[in-house]
Structure 1
């Protein structure tokens, strides 16, 4: 009996078990969901969780988990369509909807895989040079050597994915172990802070209850300083805008455009089909949601305990840019102009964004050097390497479709190398004009296509031509459509908000953002018209 036949037998056995028995079998068979967990636990999630703790303390603990739930709803729909049709989705979209949708999805995925690999190499390099082994220095030669080692580790692990037999299983276990170690690293930090009395768990549990009021008012920790500032109205609006941007961006980007590509192709790689639909949804829960929730929550907790409404860790005047913006606002309302006071300076310093090295340093007196620098740094390094592995993997899968050579190992590995080699330039290019030239167009295109990817699979979930007898009906169809419409609507509003915010950027950057908004509208129209025309065609 082959491994595939054995796994299929286990899936059929699970269908006859109760909830616990089914969960035990599904846990053994899980895999693609862990890849999703590995890609989402990267530098973006780390930076987002850090600033959540800075600006809102424990008040936005609910944000990232709720945003991820919306993302998982759509990933579950993508899994349902893929496993029901057992077709590669790129070709299915081109056939049943529009080649414009399919090719836009493919190109945006490749761009994201190449560009977002760069900050991951920068993150991993910083974790080694600043947290784990500061004695090695940060010279150019050292940085190149570190990047080379990370690249070859990631490329070697991707070789396993394209190998036959046990190679894919080893790949799955490496990803599971990496994700598990990331979670355990941040967990160790929070446990240490708890034993030192630095965390109020009552506030943490309260922060897990969604509080949309933070869209309209600053965190209460800033109230006294805002009242004593030179311009309370300006500070209130400034902090609300930051909080609102974080909330909206989190919902718009909980699932990246390349994650919507990875899931269906990783499912097909494992030869999953209709009988695996329940397993796929369970897999997303255990491999994506739980690690994401635990890791990001731990980072928010640590950041909130050290940075929220505090200035001890920053140099006086670190918030100079914010003070400059405050003073610039007086040009519009000169009658309210008064000199910036101490409360203004403290508020500006409190809102300074921190990085993982600053967090580890402030934790050191409480957690000790081993936990704060070494274990925390190991977690950050694990984030970087696991994300690099999956970004390279996704690019390999995308290149197979780009060249029309599915399952071709050489093309897959070539795509892996393109993403990985580009990423090694991250520590050198991910600053200044080069960063804007790469990040702005990629984030605009990816941001505009996230809701389109959702919308595309929303249409496919309602297509008789695509799903045939597998089209959900009755109460199940109502439930699917309610959940998908909610997730797609939130992602669309969030993407529009993010893209519109970029239209104020100077020169070509603002023009690209306007182009992204126009492209978003165009693809919605094309998708709707194509869907209606296709459904009306005779069988």
Structure 2
């Protein structure tokens, strides 16, 4: 008991000292206060690491490979809207200090928070699989470069046929390519499309990432020192990703310098949505779907649940509101925009973009890595891009584990102890099977239906709660700033609703009621990664 009181007193004293320091920073010049705030950031890191995963990698690769620099504006706008909505959520939580599962259930309805938590758990488990799948694919690619054969020659030949068939769209050629691919896969262990060595490499990287994340995640479930250790781990993951993708871009700095005007135009949305209209005057649905899907899914439902609890875990309150805004800007918005922009730019300067301005859904992150082989010398660009992909998945996997540790405790009404947090954090670890397999189609379909439906509902709840004077008092704001902020929130809600609708259509309706097409006109998929990542955005 005496030890607990001592620990409690120590925490109180530390928080009082931190509040006093924040008040001092408010009176300092901008440069000094900015540096002080940046040193104390943290919760935004978890959001940044969670969204920088397989989904972001795939979306950025497709955007860059399809349109070059022209969609550089999309990811910053998408994340800005997400940050604004999380800013509203932080205003509510920091004002009241209440745990949102309890307070939202009381103020809005228990059914809402149950679905919110359920969607968070489902998405965290489902999105775990493609993270491991992408990491394993990148590791096998690195193994191939080191002479550890993981892709049989027959698979490579079938891939070449697939690529040609995708270009020509000839039904006979497509049928032949599919048959060759199926035959080649049948000769590999478990029909996976890679050798026994590839199987070992896949599980090796999966187990390594899992072990690293168990250690770091368990730290987060401990005391304040453990939280700091975990946050530095995430900083390391994000820094690795930035450095890896940055090296690919810097290697072509002469091209970047020559294209600086086009890059600037891409960031300010000069080209809007390229190739928006078909020659016959109809709207190009594939381009619109790609852009709106990116805009509406930068923030996932599990991120909305994790964020307020990470604020409370840090002990933040009313005096930390300005720090929370800095945190979202510096450790969530900035890293996300930097990484996704670097990937898009790499697609252009590395020669992956062919100038057609047509959505290329056939290219995947691993294919992009292969295309960048010679950027830094023989195969160096490919190695660096693969390492960047592994770094992205490692950070996302850890945050999925953290959010499950929080969510299960809240759903079951349990006090969050160290042992309970760690036990529940291990639930999504089943996703390690993603190194060799994907989930049965009904599972991601069901998860998509719940998660993408819940995101706009959660956004609507945040909008209501942030304007509920009976609950947060004067923290609702006043004057023109409140009007502008609420207008941005409404835009964010509308975009999230449209984006979620697109995702539900693609991941649920089209999967349940696929359009009938000639069997020969169906491409079986890229055998470079026989484990296909689930096309969902974190």
Shorter-chain TM-score category?
A: 0.7 to 0.9
1-side partners of 2:274 and 2:111: how far apart?
36
1:308-366 CA-to-partner distances (Å, cap 9, x unmatched) read 226xxxxxxxxxxxxxxxxxxxxxxxxxxxxxxxxxxx999x83522223222222223
Against the structure 1 CA distance between its residues 459 and 445, is the aligned structure 2 distance closer, same or farther, given a 3 Å change threshold? same
Matches for 1:99-498 after TM superposition, within 5 Å: 99-131=110-142, 134=145, 135-136=147-148, 137=150, 138-195=197-254, 200-211=259-270, 213-214=272-273, 217=276, 233=280, 240-305=284-349, 306-309=351-354, 351=360, 353-369=362-378, 371-420=380-429, 422-430=430-438, 434-498=439-503
Instruction: Call closer, same or farther: CA 1:493–1:412 in 2, change over 3 Å.
Output: same
Deviation at 1:14, TM superposition (A): 1.3
Q: Which 4+ residue blocks in structure 1 deviate beyond 4 angstroms?
A: 196-199, 501-504
Question: Which whole-Å deviations, capped at 9, do the CAs of 1:160-193 have from their partners, x for residues lacking one?
Answer: 1122242211111111121112111111110102
Q: Distance in 2 between matches of 1:464 and 1:499?
A: 34
> What is the deviation of 1:110?
0.2
Q: Deviations 1:182-219 (Å, cap 9, x if unpaired)?
A: 1111111101022467962221111112257427626x
How far off its partner does 1:27 sit?
A: 0.6
Deviations 1:200-259 (A, max 9, x none): 2221111112257427626xxxxxxx9xxxxx54xx868x22211111111210100011
Which residue in 2 is equivalent to 1:37? 48
Q: Structure 1 regions of 5+ residues with no counterpart?
A: 219-225, 227-231, 311-345, 511-539
User: Residues 124 and 287 (structure 1 numbering): CA distance in 2 closer, same or farther, change over 3 Å?
Assistant: same
CA distance, structure 1, for counterparts of residue 253 and residue 362 of structure 2: 24
Distance in 1, Cα, partners of 2:357 & 2:459: 39
Provide the C-alpha distance between the structure 1 equivalents of 2:332 and 2:380, rounded to a whole number of angstroms.
25
Deviation at 1:464, TM superposition (A): 2.0
Between stretches 466-475 and 134-143, larger displacement belongs to 134-143
Q: CA RMSD in A?
A: 2.4
Give distance in 1, aligned partners of 2:513 and 2:118: 21
When residues 465 and 108 of structure 1 are mapped into structure 2, their CA distance, relative to the original with a 3 A threshold, is same
Higher deviation after alignment, 4-13 or 133-142: 133-142
SS of structure 2 residue aligned to 1:304: helix
Distance 1:271 1:386, change over 3 A: same
Counterpart of 2:90 in structure 1 is 79
- Where 1:139 maps in the other structure, the secondary structure is helix
Distance in 1, Cα, partners of 2:357 & 2:259:
23
Q: Report what 1:7 is aligned to.
A: 18
Q: RCO greater where, 1 or 2, for CA within 8 Å and sep 6 or more?
A: 2
Structure 2 distance, partners of 1:9, 1:71, is 30
State the 1:43 CA deviation: 0.6
- Closer, same or farther: CA 481–109 of 1 in aligned 2, 3 Å: same
Instruction: Output the CA distance in 1 between the equivalents of 2:212 and 2:50.
Output: 16
CA separation of 1:370 and 1:498: change in aligned 2, threshold 3 A: closer
Distance 1:407 1:443 in 2: 28
What number of residue pairs does the alignment pair up? 455
Match of 1:505 among 505, 510, 515: 510
2:377 aligns to what SS in structure 1? Answer: helix
Residues 435, 373 of structure 1: CA spacing in aligned structure 2 closer, same or farther, 3 A cutoff?
farther
Say if 2:64 and 2:353, in contact at 8 Å, map to a contact too. yes
1:501/1:388 CA distance change after superposition, 3 Å: closer
Distance 1:38 1:446 in 2: 19
